[in-house]
Copies of this chain bind each other. A is one copy, B any other.
Amino acid sequence: MEIKVLKDILSANDQIAQRNRELLNSKGVFTVNVMASPGAGKTSLILQTIKSLKGKIKIGVIEGDIRSSIDAELINKDGTPVVQINTGGECHLDANMIANALGNVPLQDIELLIIENVGNLVCPAEFDVGVHKRVVIASTPEGDDKPFKYPLMFDVVDAVLINKIDLLPYLNFDMDAFSRAIKGMNEKAEIFPVSCTTGEGIEQWTSWLLAQMGRG
């Protein structure tokens, strides 16, 4: 009897992630996983993105939090469809959580799905949840040394948003050093300095997003 050699077996997570991506592709829904430290501005970025793309792109959101639905309520205020995942302690979203959430997202009515991960620069970087692009938000008050300390996160993403640039006058944050550090570990990462408070830089970010969707 011939012995079967199974090659490139995906982990359970990666298999489910692949199925999520196939489902999203079949519905024509482009999906982005937004990761960051607690308080870096994930929800604010999503709100600014919805505002900037209003009338152009129909958006849905999956909110990941350990507990609470504060952010989901904020996003739902203007009518954007939101599904809340409460991980109950888990420090990241995984593909199975997203698979379960997708059943409650009106995929036929949206073109862009934004997933807000749990606030954490470590574990979320380890899990493909079945998206098309991954981005991280680094905020200026966190300091310009973060790429060196959380290298996997800055390595896996397609884009880095540097948020809270409105606070730069009050901080010691070296934008050039930060950008060089990112490029040193991830040459292809796009970098977008933004302020979700003033709206500065948001259009560059959403233009890039539209281009990734083939809608540029």
Residues of A within 8 A of B (CB): 37-40, 65-68, 70, 89, 91, 118-123, 139, 141-143, 145-146, 148-152, 164, 166-167, 170
Tell me what chain A mostly uses at the interface: helix, strand, loop, or mixed. Answer: loop
Between-chain CB contacts (< 8 Å), 7 pairs = A37-B119, A38-B142, A39-B142, A67-B148, A89-B152, A91-B91, A123-B123
A139 to B167, CA, bound (A): 14
* A122-B91 CB under 8 A given contacts A39-B142, A70-B148, A148-B67: yes
Chain A to chain B: the 5 pairs with minimum beta-carbon distance, closest first: A39-B142, A91-B122, A141-B141, A37-B38, A68-B148
A120 to B139, CA, bound (A): 15
| CB-defined contacts of A68 to chain B, threshold 8 Å | 145, 148-149
A131 to B70, CA, bound (A): 33
| CB-defined contacts of A142 to chain B, threshold 8 Å | 37-40
| CB-defined contacts of A148 to chain B, threshold 8 Å | 67-68, 70
Asked if B143 and A39 sit within 8 Å, CB to CB, the answer is yes
* A167-B150 CB under 8 A given contacts A37-B119, A118-B122, A122-B91: no
Across the two chains, which residue of chain B brings its CB closest to A144? Answer: B39
Closest CB in chain B relative to A34 CB, distance in Å: 15
